[in-house]
Amino acid sequence: EVEKKVTTLLKYIQNKNKIPNVAKKELVGIVNDLHEQCQLLYSLYHHDLESGGRKGKPGAAAAASSSRSSSDLDYFSSEETEISTGNVSETLSSDYAAMLRKIQETESTNEDLKRQVSSLKQEMEQAGNVIGKRNEDRNHLMTKGEVALLRNQKDELASKLKKKTDEASEIHMKLKRLEGEKEKRAK
């Protein structure tokens, strides 16, 4: 279910200029739902660690920890056993929030780049239409250098758009990886 929501979220990110207002409300709902699920995972993970999960506690949890085999202790790296629950929870929360901010920034940048590319395409079409017509007064026409400059700008913007789309995909993959790690830690 989470993968389906993340896939839907990525689809909206990639097609953001075509998102109707109704779908935008759905998008906000998906993001809020994923955030709530993430918070639930944090609380479950925190509760699991407090109730004697990976670290043995003196006293009541000592009996449980004494029954652990050495292979159980070998399963967790020393780094994992030293991480405090507060730090893990804070780190995961900040990573999640940072990724959401990065996705929003990327969406905004992608929208700007798409608008610029669209504007340049319109200018190119208009320039092509004007150049194609035989007009005696050519003072208002674009020169070949200006057309080449616009083409270069268009190519640069298309390249930036692709880069931002790739960044959004990468962030999406990082988010999936973090959620996978959260699920593993919750178990």
Average pLDDT of adjacent 10-residue blocks, the chain of 187 residues: 74 68 72 78 77 48 40 44 50 72 83 84 74 56 82 93 92 91 85
Domain hosting 80: range is 2-186
Q: What are phi and psi of 83, to 5 degrees?
A: -75, 130
pLDDT of residue 34: 78
Write the CA distances from 91 to 41, 165, 174, 182, integer angstroms. Answer: 13, 26, 14, 11
- Residue 11 confidence (pLDDT): 74
pTM more than 0.85: no
Number of domains in the chain: 1
